[in-house]
Amino acid sequence: MNFDSVLKRRCSIRKYSTVKVSLNEITKVAEASRFSPMAGNIHTVRLIIVNEEKKKAELAEAALQQYFIADAPYLIVICSDITQLSRSYKNQAEKYARQQAGAAIENMFLKATDLGLACCWVGAFDEEKIKTILNIPQNIHVEAILPIGKPTKKPRKAKKKPDLKMIAYFNKWGQGEIKPAKKLDVR
């Protein structure tokens, strides 16, 4: 898929087909996380790939009862280890780690889209419960859960997004209007 199509097709999908996803596909998604930018090239992102039914059900419960999560054949739980980042960036480390996790998550989301997989970024959960379920040490932050599966026959379309002129300014806050690009390669 070309890059603009991947960008435009990416959308949160919360219904998964019963068709199997291979571990190889999930590995490709996980691999995409390695290529996101990291301050000082310090890689803070850690992943836990979950496919055990019992654990998935427990994680869905811990994610404020978002039961659709357990319907996905695989979950990728994204964590941050900021130990090394803290040494280099002191009080900026927490902020950088959050940003790095976001960049890695988006890379994986886009790769999943590229592979024709269905995915959703889940940020609402009880962190302590997730740590207990997955045996995650206390000093590690849990950032998000990505349920990944095959889309159903009728996957939903991407949501409407704000026009660029609503979110981008020239030279100072609130100033100017940026016209949409002449042609963005779509679908």
Ligand X SMILES: Cc1cc2nc3c(=O)[nH]c(=O)nc-3n(C[C@H](O)[C@H](O)[C@H](O)COP(=O)(O)O)c2cc1C
23 vs 67 by CB, closer to ligand X: 67
Q: Say whether residue 54 binds ligand X (CB under 6 A).
A: no
- CA 117/CA 31 separation, integer angstroms: 15
Place of tokens 């890059």: 3
Residue pair 10/109 in contact (Cβ under 8 Å)? The answer is yes
Least distance from ligand X to the Cβ atom of residue 171, Å: 28
Size of the site for ligand X (CB under 6 A): 10
- Identify the residue among 1, 6, 7, 11 touching ligand X (CB under 6 A): 11
Q: Please list every residue from 82 through 101 that binds ligand X, using CB under 6 A.
A: none
| Choices 49-57, 117-125, 133-141, 147-155; region in contact with ligand X by CB under 6 A | 117-125
73 vs 113 by CB, closer to ligand X: 113
- CA 145/CA 123 separation, integer angstroms: 7
Q: Please list every residue from 147 through 176 that binds ligand X, using CB under 6 A.
A: 159
3 vs 88 by CB, closer to ligand X: 3
* 185 φ, ψ (degrees, to nearest 5): -60, 115
- CA 141/CA 133 separation, integer angstroms: 14
Give burial (CB, 10 Å; 0-12/13-18/19+) of 113: buried
Q: Say whether residue 7 binds ligand X (CB under 6 A).
A: no
Interface with ligand X (CB under 6 A) = 11-12, 14, 66, 120-124, 159
